Amino acid sequence: MDKVFQSVFYLFLIILLFKLSQFAYRVIRERRYMKELAQSGMPYIDKMDGRQFEFYLQALFQQLGYKIQVTPSSGDFGADLVMKGKEKIVIQAKRYSAKNRVSLSAVQEVYAAKAYYKANQAWVVTNSYFTKQAKELAAACDVTLVDRGDLQKFINEVNPIFKAREIFENITPKPRKCPKCGQDLVVRDGNGTRFFGCSSFPSCRHTEKINKEVSKSRPSL
């Protein structure tokens, strides 16, 4: 009977130690992830609108020695940025919310831009993720997809001079019109959060999150 009890006890001890090691591993992995997340500035990138995100990518790739050509806000033929270095690369930037995935239309557009700008490579860069169809089409068209995980790793490797927080706090988001009264929306600060508020306040109290939509406005350094 003692041997049975002893066997059960050792088995319980082994299971307990295994569970504790699993817990410790998860804690270490979570802490490492949070550290890398903070270093990359992804929380601030998530708050950006499209204009700020494009500005950030410009600064990031310029630090790597690329010359950046910014395409016009209309008639861009599917590219937001054209980078010239050892090779010419066209980029479509997609600043999305975490719930939204980038669809295959982005791949189609940047693939067309690659031909138009006579580029060697075509990339779609996002702070989110891609749909299954987008991945399949990208593989077939030789388009490089840079998703949230890839971008975070890339930023930490580059360690850019211009941090995401600086871009978010100092670059004005794309101007917008109030959908209620038609007046300009201006950037306001409240409780540590930046948001769009109607310029006709207090007669109109409409507000919007800065990152509500993906902007197609073009910044310049």
Residue with token string 């948001």: 195
| pLDDT-wise least confident of 95-99, 209-213, 216-220 | 216-220
> Mean of the pLDDT values across residues 73-80?
76
The residue ranking higher by pLDDT, 150 or 188, is: 150
Residue 73 has pLDDT above 60, yes or no: yes
The total number of residues shown for the chain amounts to 221
Radius of gyration of the chain (CA): 23
pLDDT value of position 40: 66
Band the pLDDT of 29: cuts 50, 70, 90: low
Q: In this structure, which amino acid lies at residue 146? A: V
Give the tens place of pLDDT for each residue, 85-129. Answer: 889 999 999 999 878 899 999 999 999 999 999 999 999 999 999
The number of beta carbons lying within 10 Å of the beta carbon of residue 25 is 10
Give the tens place of pLDDT for each residue, 8-28. Answer: 767 777 877 777 776 666 655
Tell me which residue of 149, 144, 130 sits closest to 40, measured CA to CA: 149
pTM of the model: 0.68
The residue ranking higher by pLDDT, 193 or 81, is: 81
pLDDT value of position 105: 95
pLDDT value of position 215: 37
Residue 214 has pLDDT above 50, yes or no: no
> Mean of the pLDDT values across residues 47-58?
88
Helical residues (DSSP H) of the chain, grouped into ranges:
2-40, 42-45, 50-63, 104-116, 132-141, 148-158, 164-170
> Mean of the pLDDT values across residues 23-39?
55
Residue 144 has pLDDT above 80, yes or no: yes
